[in-house]
Chain A
Amino acid sequence: MTSRPSRREVLAASAAALLLDPNPADAAVIKDALPWRSGTVNPPVGATPGPWRFFTNEEAAAVEALVDRLIPPDAETPGGKDAGCAVFIDRQLDGPYGSFEGHYTEGPFHKGTPEQGPQSPVTPKEHYRKSLAALDQHCRETLGAPFVQLPDERKDQVIKGLEDGSIKLDGAGSFWKLLLNDTQQGFLADPIYGGNKDMVAWKMIGFPGARYDYSDWVERHNERYPLPPISVKGNPDWSR
């Protein structure tokens, strides 16, 4: 299977689609015909299964504990941990998102107004690393145990402290927003990214996922849509 040619491949390809070739090679110059390469797909970079790629085991345990309080398990739907939110965050931090890839990262760095947007050079990777270390230190010093070992009510109190700012982690002012955002995104994103395992979040809310055709349903007003959700990678239930 040929994936979408990378920029490097396109650079290396010959110029100009030439006459008499209905399937010109992919090229930076487009002339005479629309490019086509049989078998081309443009898949996302999904989460690969396996060990943690960014988090240390301790960090991962803390993050799993955090996400499981942010989105607790209940009778109907798994919590953040079993839904894979920590895996999601781990893989995202390991990718372009974690390193601000594509962002404008030139200095000088000045703190501006809130309306001017984030100006910190601290990448999400660095942010998590620092903040998790600081959280760990805070919990040990003030509560006598790392976050993961605290009882749930205590965990919730710590989280509330992060939320309202009463717990100030060293060098991690906006960690709370980052963590909450990433956790909820992991819960609701396509399962190919490691979270929303088995599409549990989508099933919970009634979102049918990566579907593309609702033409027969547009005018069926106030009716429940009956089909289960599918992901970018399809539907594991097809053969069931």
Chain B
Amino acid sequence: MARKLPHKDVVVIGLGWTGSILSYELCEAGLDVVAIERGPWRDTPLDFQPYTAPDELRYRIRHELFLRPAQVSVTFRNNASQEALPVRNWGAFMLGNGAGGAGLHWNAETWRFLPSDFVLRSHLTQRYGANFLPQDMTIQDWGIKWDEIEPHYDRFEYLCGTSGTAGNVKGAVQDGGNPFEGPRSRPYPTPAQKQPFSHTLFAKAAREMGYKPFPQPSGNLSQAYTNPLGVTLAPCTFCGFCEWFGCANYSKASPQTTILPALVRKKNFEARTECEVVRINLDSSGKRATGVTYVDTSGEELEQPADLVLLCAFQLFNVQLLLLSGIGKPYDPTSGQGQIGRNFTHQTVSGGIGFFDKDKFNFNPFIASGAIGMCIDEFNGDNFDHGPLGFVGGGYLGQVQTNGRPIETTPLPPGTPAWGPQWKQALRDNYLSTVFCGAGVHASFYSYRDNYLDLDPTYKDRFGRPLVRITMDFHENELKMSAWLTDKFGEILQHMGAKQVVKQPRKGPYDVTKYQTSHLCGGAIMGDNPSNSAINKYLQSWDVPNLFVQGATAFPQNAGYNPTGTVGALAYSSAAAIRSQYLKNPGPLVHA
């Protein structure tokens, strides 16, 4: 029988980006907030020294900052005809753990979606006709419009100090920015990062080819910045140890560098780390959350009662907790009924390699940041005519190579032996003069009837709870799109002056061993009514109104951009609604 703890106004499950944003906002509203985080506390000077942080083996290869699958994992199969098997060691995605969540070890690529992304089904149907979309594609409109979310994008960017060049300010297109972006209310808080050689060369080639390149919006700051919470970040020094790593000099936007120093000072905030929430508790009606049960560091089960529950545990674990807690109806792909677990998506990334003359080109690939890059957006979303192409979706293209870490950066010309003297020589000859961009194409991943999450019937976690089961495969649409976009990317590499270009389009089947970003989305999607979604536009559960489900679980499909900017914006939008409406009148905020 779990020991019951004193009541708190709010319990926040997970202290990543959304957990930190919501905790701060609700503390500001005067509520008593406790955040329960499964992993350890992490902080810059204790955990990441400038001499210990840049260690590829430790952090990139041995995954030291990530969740251990032994603690909790998932199972995977491509389709229902297979038996799902455990992901015994991470591959296709990396799951964070500890204070800061994925926000600690991300690249800090801080994008906004397109206005059309939020009304995707309406938009595509209007332009191409309903028959243009594959029959089993289950994309839908989000239930929120650009004008509603724009101020919250702004808020997240000004929290982070995002470095970028605006492309469209209040409808006026700006030189040097992304001409396709939705109108923003003001420019970025800090200027774009300086760009290294190969990234600049990509932009030059793109420009010559008639594209409009712009710097990738970066949460690795170009200069020191103090955000509205009074927390200060320092300028990025291009160390090239960004994604997978913690930042040692306060220059990567993370909960640690933007929120936690101010949050921890609040008398009404407490974080309990190394404690895992195992269940969201409901009252007998099943329509009201009474708090959570969690396991503390001694292994004891404790019950934390609260009036408001914020589920901020990352996409996969949000879904796991909803299913294990009996919230909402689990999705059944056969009947199409049930919202929890459906519309599970990832990201369609691909890229290419450009081999250059080593006597003419020295790229110093190790000089980079996580969100460095020059990009073009001509082929994202519906920015181009899909009519003749036979697919929908798109992505940004860019030279966004973030590092030259040697274990990962040994691209060799095709035909080079995998070992021996020629291997060694090729390594020597190509390291400095190769553009190796595995995510040069960062494209959408639309949703399908048969890509979903549910609970595995066989495999359990250390508490004996079923693991989440992923059923996922690529569909023709995404593979066609990837091939087409990767061709475009290859053309630019060629135009840069590469002597040899190797294109690496994404190929099926979906492979859980090959890393393709950790941008897992969907599973508890937002929408305008309970028949098509799990949560409303404020991320409030239709089933349990005092539960708000944060994060990319809300995405009905994934767009051609990194999701964190949108995750942050939705969190601020949700927080605003809770503060201005919900707290005054607890109950459903949207009546469908």
Chain A interfacial positions (CB closer than 8 Å to B): 4, 7, 10-11, 16, 28-37, 40-44, 69-72, 74, 77, 96-97, 100-106, 108, 110, 112-119, 156, 159, 163, 180, 183-185, 188-190, 192-193, 201-202, 204-215, 217-219, 221-225, 232-234
Contact = CB atoms under 8 A, between A and B. Distances in A.
A42 B57 contact: no
Contact of B88 (A11, A118, A202): A118
Nearest to A12: B297
Nearest to B272: A29
Contact of A35 (B46, B51, B87, B513): B46
Contacts of A36: 45-46
Contact of B264 (A31, A37, A116): A31
B196 A72 contact: no
Contacts of B269: 31
5 contacts: A32-B265, A37-B46, A69-B419, A188-B410, A210-B55
Contacts, number: 244
Contacts of B235: 215
Majority-rule SS of B interface residues: loop
A119 B68 CA distance: 16
Given A4-B47, A212-B53, A69 B83 contact: no
A34 B43 contact: yes
- Scoring B55, B73, B261, B511 by chain A CB atoms within 10 A of each residue's CB, the highest score goes to B55
B91 A214 contact: no
Nearest to B274: A28
Contacts of B264: 30-34
B49 interface: yes
| Among all A-B residue pairs, the 5 with the closest Cβ atoms | A221-B197, A205-B431, A104-B69, A102-B68, A188-B406
B360 to A, nearest CB: 8
Interface in B213-259: 235, 237-241, 248-249
Given A104-B86, A204-B428, A212-B237, A72 B421 contact: yes
B289 interface: no
Contacts of B366: 207-208, 211, 214, 225
A29 B269 CA distance: 11
A105 B361 CA distance: 47
A212 B54 contact: yes
Nearest to B195: A218
A118 B270 contact: no
A115 B511 contact: yes
B275 interface: yes
Interface string B97-140: 00100000000000000000000000000000000000000000
Contact of A117 (B63, B82, B87, B428): B87
A232 to B, nearest CB: 5
A28 B273 contact: yes
Nearest to B360: A222
B57 A189 contact: yes
B274 A116 contact: no
B58 A44 contact: yes
A217 B47 CA distance: 27
B418 interface: yes
A163 B274 CA distance: 44
Interface in B365-401: 366-367
Nearest to B297: A11
Contacts of B91: 117
A213 B367 CA distance: 9
Contacts of A33: 264-265
Given A69-B420, A201-B406, A222 B362 contact: yes
Given A117-B91, A217-B367, A34 B260 contact: yes
Contact of B460 (A29, A106, A115): A106
A34 B261 contact: yes
**Which among A35, A70, A112 has the highest number of chain B CB atoms within 10 Å?**
A112
A234 B49 CA distance: 12
A198 B194 CA distance: 33
A117 B88 contact: yes
Interface string B42-75: 0101111111111111100111000011100100
Nearest to B48: A42
A155 to B, nearest CB: 11
A184 B410 contact: yes
A29 B271 contact: yes
A41 B52 contact: yes
Interface string B421-433: 1011001100110
Interface in B292-314: 296-298
Nearest to B266: A32
A74 B424 contact: yes
Contacts of B477: none
B180 interface: no
Contacts of A106: 86, 459-460
A100 B512 CA distance: 18
B50 A103 contact: no
Contacts of A74: 421, 424
B453 to A, nearest CB: 16
A96 B58 CA distance: 12
Given A69-B420, A219-B194, A42 B88 contact: no
A212 B248 contact: yes
A188 B407 CA distance: 6
A159 B407 CA distance: 22
B407 A185 contact: yes
Contacts of B3: none
A70 B419 contact: yes
A10 B237 contact: no
B549 to A, nearest CB: 24
Contacts of B47: 4, 42
A28 B275 contact: yes
Residue in A33, A110, A117, A202 with the greatest tally of chain B CB atoms within 10 Å: A117
Contacts of A211: 54, 239, 366
